[in-house]
Structure 1
């Protein structure tokens, strides 16, 4: 079975194939936010991990954990970002820490 990040990449391919105009516009919008930000890339990724947990998106969690690690975030920083989301969202959000731990175990062990 494909991993959450692989599922997301396949979804992006499908969106790009079926509605390239909309997908490219969305990508441009998100890229302009990131590039125009005063927040360093690593911290953007950590924030996005917390947002992904709050929105309960396993594919997003997987992608953003990988991006955070690529941007230089440590295992502890990634886990702490997830735990901040749990602090805001409570027990239901804690269940999504599973995806954070799965990714950091693959990336850091």
Structure 2
């Protein structure tokens, strides 16, 4: 599984959809920007929260996007492990499967670690 290709393909699909519903896309973009503007929590912590939700909700494209963002925000594999453990504790077996996907995505986005 190539997570970089999956993210690129999803971005392409989103661009097509965004042209079909531009006002919705604009609204969601504004919401996303506002949610990511760290006030008390830093961006890395916010991305860990988003990743935990992505795993619990079984959203594979979300996992790819948030793992990529986490790597850029300075997350570590060890921190990722803690978050994956909590996501599994909260979501049981299905979250265990998606946590494994998140770890695979991490290893692809950060090959030097």
Give the TM-score normalised by the residue count of structure 2: 0.85
**What is the correspondence of 1:15-34 to structure 2 with a 5 Å cutoff?**
15-34=17-36
The ranges of structure 1 where at least 4 consecutive aligned residues each deviate by more than 2 angstroms after the TM superposition are 1-4
Instruction: Work out which structure has the larger RCO, using CA pairs closer than 8 Å and 6 or more positions apart in sequence.
Output: 2
Measure the CA separation in 2 of the matches of 1:12 and 1:35. Answer: 22
Q: Is the 8 A contact 1:53 1:97 kept in 2?
A: yes
Q: For 2:40 and 2:82, how far apart are their aligned partners in 1?
A: 21
Q: What is the RMSD computed on CA atoms of the aligned residues?
A: 1.8
Q: In 2, are the aligned partners of 1:79 and 1:100 still within 8 Å (CA)?
A: no
Could you list the runs of 5+ residues in structure 2 that have no partner in the other structure? none
TM-score w.r.t. length of structure 1:
0.88
The correspondence for 2:84, drawn from 65, 79, 82, is 82
The unaligned stretches of length 5 or more in structure 1 are none
Stretch deviating more after TM superposition (43-52 or 78-87): 78-87
- Structure 1, 82-91 or 33-42: larger mean CA deviation: 33-42
